[in-house]
C-alpha cells in the first residue's frame, strides 16, 4: 500500500482526520468530509470492511465526487476498515494503493491487523509520548470539525436554509474550488458570511 489515514467519527457527519501517512493521503481523507461520501463512510455505517480493488471501475458510480478527487490524487485501490470495540464505533482506517489490487486473504489479514493496532492506539491514554502525540492530533481533528460546525451555522443563518442544506452548500463550494471543507469553513469564519466563488466574479 502507498498511504493510510485514520478517521475518527461519532456519526457520518461528525468526525475528522486524526492521522495520515503523507500529504496525499490527507487530501484524499479530507475528501470524504468535503464530498460527504466515500468507502470509509460506507464502512463506518455498515461496520464492515469495504474493499475497493479498482477505484476507476467501481468508484465513479458509487461515490462520484470522492472518486474524482481520489483518482486525481493517484489512488487506484482503497481498503476501508471500521475501527470498533464491541458496539462502540471509533472511526475507520483507510489504506490506499497506487495500482488496482484485488486483495488476497493475506492482504485482508494484514489490513485487519493494522485496524486492530489503530484501534488500540485510539484507546490508549496519554501515558507515553506516542499516545500523547496521537491525542494531540485527535484534538486537532475535532477542533477542525468545530470550525466547520461554526461556519455551517453561519451559512444556515445567512442563507436561511437548514443545517443540512448549509453543509451541502459548503461542500459544493469546496468541491468546485478544489479545496478541503475546512478551508471553506475558515474563509467563512474570517469573512463573516458565505460568499461562493461565483459571487466574486465581476467584483472590483
Check: pTM over 0.85? Answer yes or no: no
Positions in the chain short of pLDDT 50: 125-129, 131-132, 199-204
- From residue 195, how far is each of 16, 50, 151 by CA, in Å? 24, 36, 12
For the chain, helix, strand, coil in percent to 5 are 60, 20, 25
State residue 132's pLDDT score: 45
For residue 145, the model assigns a pLDDT of: 67
pLDDT of 108 reads: 83
CATH classification of 3-123 is 3.90.950.20, yes or no?
no
- The pLDDT assigned to 50 comes to 94
Fold of 129-200: Arc Repressor Mutant, subunit A (1.10.10)
pLDDT at 202: 42
Residue spans of the domains in the chain: they are 3-123, 129-200
pLDDT at 204: 37
pLDDT tens figures, 128-167: 445 445 556 556 665 676 788 788 878 887 888 887 788 8
Burial of residue 68 (number of CB atoms within 10 Å: 0-12, 13-18, 19+)? middle
Amino acid at each position: 500500500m502507498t498511504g493510510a489515514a485514520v478517521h475518527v467519527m461519532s456519526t457520518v457527519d461528525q468526525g475528522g482526520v486524526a492521522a495520515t501517512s503523507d500529504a496525499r493521503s490527507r487530501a484524499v481523507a479530507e475528501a470524504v468530509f468535503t464530498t460527504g461520501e466515500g468507502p470509509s463512510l460506507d464502512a463506518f455505517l455498515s461496520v464492515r470492511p469495504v474493499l475497493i480493488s479498482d477505484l476507476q471501475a467501481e468508484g465513479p458510480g458509487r461515490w462520484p465526487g470522492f472518486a474524482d478527487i481520489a483518482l486525481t490524487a493517484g489512488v487506484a485501490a482503497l481498503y476501508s476498515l471500521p475501527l470498533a470495540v464491541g458496539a462502540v464505533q471509533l472511526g475507520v482506517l483507510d489504506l490506499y494503493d497506487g495500482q488496482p489490487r484485488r486483495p488476497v486473504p493475506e492482504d485482508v489479514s494484514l489490513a485487519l491487523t493494522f485496524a486492530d493496532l489503530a484501534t488500540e492506539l485510539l484507546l490508549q491514554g496519554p501515558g507515553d509520548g506516542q499516545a500523547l502525540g496521537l491525542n494531540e492530533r485527535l484534538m486537532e481533528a475535532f477542533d477542525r470539525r468545530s470550525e466547520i460546525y461554526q461556519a455551517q451555522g453561519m451559512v444556515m443563518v445567512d442563507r436561511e436554509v437548514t443545517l443540512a442544506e448549509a453543509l451541502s452548500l459548503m461542500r459544493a463550494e469546496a468541491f468546485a474550488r478544489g479545496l478541503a471543507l475546512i478551508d471553506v469553513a475558515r474563509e467563512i469564519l474570517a469573512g463573516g458570511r458565505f460568499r461562493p466563488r461565483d459571487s466574486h466574479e465581476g467584483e472590483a
